[in-house]
Structure 1
Amino acid sequence: MKRLKITDHHGWTPRKLRKQERKIKNAPLRQRVMAVRLVMEGSLGKEVASMVHACRQTVSHYVPLFNEGGLELLLHRDVAPLREPFLTEKQQKEIKQLVLTTTPAELDWDIASAWNTKILQSYVHHRYGISISREALRKLLH
């Protein structure tokens, strides 16, 4: 197996990286800096992985990131774009109001005296033409 190597220090020394670690409040980001610092100090990838409680492949991913773009790229985390909600705000309010004030039996939708996610799922599909999971409905109601 090939030894991990820092090819471009980008002006960082192990001492500067240790100071930077102390400033970072986010634990996973601090872990990245610590892993790079330990590799820079000469530790093997599997040793570093054990020390920072990560897998070896994760540490092997951090080193090229640092080599390519320094600390800025190492600490950069892409956030997934937010998905559009299944229901509009208006539809969500209607559903909440429906659940709070009526029963399926009162609407002649079902014989049940209380809403559950299965009944609500079929109601939403019929009313709005939207297929939504029962888990998504549960989260909406909470």
Structure 2
Amino acid sequence: MRKKGLQITNDHGWTIERLQEQERKMKKANMAKRIAVIRLIMQGYLGIQVAELLNLHRETVSIYVQKFTQGGMDALLERRYAPGRKPYLSPEEERELKKMLEESTPADEGYGIETGWNTRIIQHVLEEKFSVTMSRGGIGDMLHRWGFRYTRPTYTLKRANPQKQKEFQQEMELIKKTCPTTWS
């Protein structure tokens, strides 16, 4: 006696035509593929055939059919993502650190004579104030997530003479225009 293969025992009111329409509306290809699995099984294809047609593993086809049969379209299209790693700082600690970085300098907070924050100083603050050890790269990533951007400090020379600088730039332009450059 021949096996019947995968079957959908509860179609939850979905017809082949409605499934085809829903499949076309789907913006995400992987979700459209899930609906296609159900449609093809309803049309009478075997699980192995559906797996070959859609380039899926046969167990994946079976899982999609099982999800749809048990919970309908919502269960079929549900995606659960991993929650990710637990943050090093609590929300209150994050707010406190952000406020400190935005409104003060390391010198104001008693961390040396620096006028700007860097990952080395923040690493020291985290260890001292919150008892948290983070790598400097991790701190940089955290700051980036918070919307902070790294900028290098720019220096201005206090005793620079703007007139002499302008004359020097004009002289350099003249030299560039008059001297032929020969590259061998």
Aligned match of 2:131 in 120, 129, 135?
129
Paired position in structure 2 for 1:141: 143
In 1, are the aligned partners of 2:67 and 2:76 still within 8 Å (CA)? yes
Match for residue 13 of structure 2?
A: 11
The answer (yes or no) to whether the contact 2:16–2:42 under 8 Å persists in 1 is yes
Q: How does 1:42-121 map to 2 (within 5 A)?
A: 42-78=44-80, 86=89, 87-95=93-101, 107-108=111-112, 115-116=118-119, 120-121=122-123
Identity fraction in percent: 35
Gaps of 5+ in 1: 109-113
Quote how far apart the aligned CAs of 1:18 are: 0.6
Aligned residues: 134
Q: Following the alignment from structure 1 to structure 2, what is the Cα–Cα distance between the partners of residues 97 and 46? A: 63
Query: Deviation per CA, 1:11-69, whole angstroms, max 9, x where unpaired?
Result: 22222211111122233322211121122223333443343344333222111111112
**Aligned residue identity for 1:90:** E
Larger radius of gyration: 2
For structure 2, which runs of at least 5 residues remain unmatched after alignment?
145-184
CA–CA distance in structure 1, aligned partners of residues 49 and 37 of structure 2: 10
Query: TM-score, normalising length from structure 2?
Result: 0.54
CA RMSD after TM alignment: 3.8
User: Structure 1 residues 125, 3: CA separation in 2 closer, same or farther (over 3 Å shift)?
Assistant: farther
